[in-house]
């Protein structure tokens, strides 16, 4: 995975559609123990997951980097699980008995396990019952997951997911943007209502992403925190119950799709009017950085400690795609591409800044306010893998 390492990176196989790939993180020499033996195919064909097949066939995996889908198992005989005693979307009360089973022609199950909202709650042997005590659960929506663990050497698992309501169905409604879609980098305003609660929390992956004060109102979701693609938002209501305290009631999650930013069409420029390099501007001078990776090029410019500066230039996007700047920097930084401000998440360490570019030339302007010197500045860019920004990738107006 070393930049410009001279060999095909393992990520190339994933991009081409492979379920998994591996490679050594440093020169392995002719030490066979660092590589999978052909038995990897045997274990995979027996039904092992990709991760299980890899690690059973490698004696010395200490320099091996494995990427892909670790639980991919195309040859596993996965049992089909059925559950009687409960139905999807049912309102359950008291102690409920669940009777799990697998199809007669499927691999037999050694045991069954019950998970509620991702947490293991109960287990029983084949032919037994799983007990669900609703008194131990909060009101409203819950996801039950019944797992069948097969009686084979791999303990292959199958599952059945059952959404249910504990004691009551919350009266919840939500108004989403058109098409349940929002754009990354923009705040997404939604309206929610849950009868009888004092506030509504909106959670994604267990994290709080928005709050509605009272039983009805609106919340602005930060799409940068949610990421791109389909996300699941879980509404949770809180209501006072007198001397007892606060009760929690959960509503059924809803989906929201976060789409990429608008495509930037770029700018037409006459190449003959431009010089090779990146334009550096500070309060005391202007110069062209014409060669070298950005940290080395900046070292030649030698900006003073704590001195703000800008970098400006034109660069080419070889194809229309979603690109990304990756920045590590101690201080404030802002980016503009084609005069459009990019959204930099307020994070420590690395920041990942997407930008949707059309094929052609684009103009970059980046402003930095360092804390101390610029020795820790690391800027990368790309679409099929980001690489260190180099001054010779740019063109700029002559000084």
Give the SS3 label for residue 153.
Answer: coil
Q: Which pLDDT score, from 0 to 100, does residue 310 have? A: 93
How many other CB atoms sit within 10 Å of the CB of residue 346?
9
Structure tokens at 353: 């800044």
Structure tokens at 84: 């009687």
For the chain, helix, strand, coil in percent to 5 are: 15, 50, 40
Domains along the sequence of the chain with CATH = 11-68 (no CATH), 81-166 (2.60.40.10), 172-259 (2.60.40.2470), 271-396 (3.90.182.10)
Q: Which of 222, 202, 224, 225 is nearest to 213 (CA)?
A: 202
Question: Under 8 Å CB-to-CB from 376, ≥6 apart: which residues?
Answer: 328, 329, 330
Give the SS3 label for residue 117.
Answer: coil
What is the residue-level pLDDT of the chain in tens, covering all 399 positions?
A: 777 778 888 888 998 999 999 988 888 888 999 999 999 999 999 999 999 999 999 998 888 899 999 999 999 999 999 999 999 999 999 999 999 999 999 999 999 999 999 999 999 999 999 999 999 999 999 999 999 999 999 999 999 999 999 999 999 999 998 889 999 888 899 999 999 999 999 999 989 999 999 999 999 999 988 989 999 999 999 988 766 678 899 999 999 999 998 999 987 777 677 889 999 999 888 999 988 888 888 888 888 888 899 999 999 999 999 999 999 988 889 999 999 999 877 666 788 899 999 999 999 999 999 888 777 789 999 988 888 999 999 998 776
Q: Are the beta carbons of 337 and 304 closer than 8 angstroms?
A: no
Residues across the chain? 399
Distance CA 97, CA 374 (A): 64
Distance CA 87, CA 295 (A): 61
Structure tokens at 167: 């004691």
Q: Which pLDDT score, from 0 to 100, does residue 244 have? A: 64
Place of tokens 């709050």: 211
Question: Under 8 Å CB-to-CB from 272, ≥6 apart: which residues?
Answer: none
Secondary element (H or E) of residue 296: helix 294-301
How many CA atoms does the CB half-sphere of 39 hold within 13 Å? Answer: 9
Q: Are the beta carbons of 238 and 201 closer than 8 angstroms?
A: yes
* CA separation, residue 126 to residues 7, 129, 221, 271 (Å): 51, 9, 45, 74
DSSP 243: G
Q: Are the beta carbons of 158 and 80 closer than 8 angstroms?
A: yes
How many other CB atoms sit within 10 Å of the CB of residue 362?
22
């Amino acid at each position: 995975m070393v930049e410009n390492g001279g060999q095909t990176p393992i990520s190339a196989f994933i991009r081409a559609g492979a379920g998994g790939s591996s490679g050594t993180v440093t020169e392995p020499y002719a030490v066979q123990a660092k590589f999978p033996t052909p038995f990897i195919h045997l274990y995979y064909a027996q039904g092992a997951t990709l991760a299980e097949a890899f690690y059973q066939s490698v004696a010395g995996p200490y320099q091996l980097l494995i990427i892909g889908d670790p639980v991919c198992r195309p040859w596993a005989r996965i049992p089909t699980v059925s559950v009687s005693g409960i139905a999807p979307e049912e309102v359950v009360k008291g102690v409920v008995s669940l009777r799990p089973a697998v199809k007669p022609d499927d691999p037999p199950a050694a045991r069954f396990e019950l998970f509620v909202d991702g947490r293991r709650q109960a287990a029983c042997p084949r032919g037994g019952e799983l007990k669900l005590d609703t008194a131990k659960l909060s009101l409203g929506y819950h996801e039950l997951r019944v797992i069948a663990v097969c009686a084979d050497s791999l303990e292959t698992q199958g599952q059945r997911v059952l959404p249910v309501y504990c004691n009551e169905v919350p009266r919840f409604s939500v108004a989403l943007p058109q098409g349940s879609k929002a754009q990354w980098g923009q705040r997404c305003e939604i309206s929610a209502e849950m009868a009888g609660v004092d506030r509504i929390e909106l959670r994604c992956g267990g994290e709080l992403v928005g709050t509605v004060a009272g039983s009805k109102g609106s919340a602005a979701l930060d799409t940068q925190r949610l990421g791109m693609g389909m996300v699941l938002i879980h509404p949770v209501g809180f209501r006072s119950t007198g001397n007892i305290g606060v009760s929690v009631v959960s509503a059924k999650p809803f989906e929201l799709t976060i789409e990429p930013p608008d495509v930037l069409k770029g700018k037409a420029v006459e190449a003959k009017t431009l010089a090779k390099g990146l334009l550096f501007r500070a309060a005391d001078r202007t110069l062209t950085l014409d060669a070298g990776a950005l940290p080395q090029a900046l070292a030649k410019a030698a900006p003073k400690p704590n001195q703000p500066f800008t970098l400006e230039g034109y660069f080419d996007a070889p194809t229309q795609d979603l690109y990304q700047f990756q920045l590590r920097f101690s201080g404030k930084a802002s980016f503009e591409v084609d005069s459009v401000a990019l959204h930099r998440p307020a994070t420590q360490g690395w920041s990942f800044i997407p930008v949707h570019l059309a094929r052609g030339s684009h103009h970059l302007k980046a402003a930095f306010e360092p804390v101390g010197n610029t020795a820790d500045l690391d800027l990368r860019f790309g679409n099929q893998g980001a690489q260190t920004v180099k001054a010779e990738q740019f063109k700029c107006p002559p000084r």
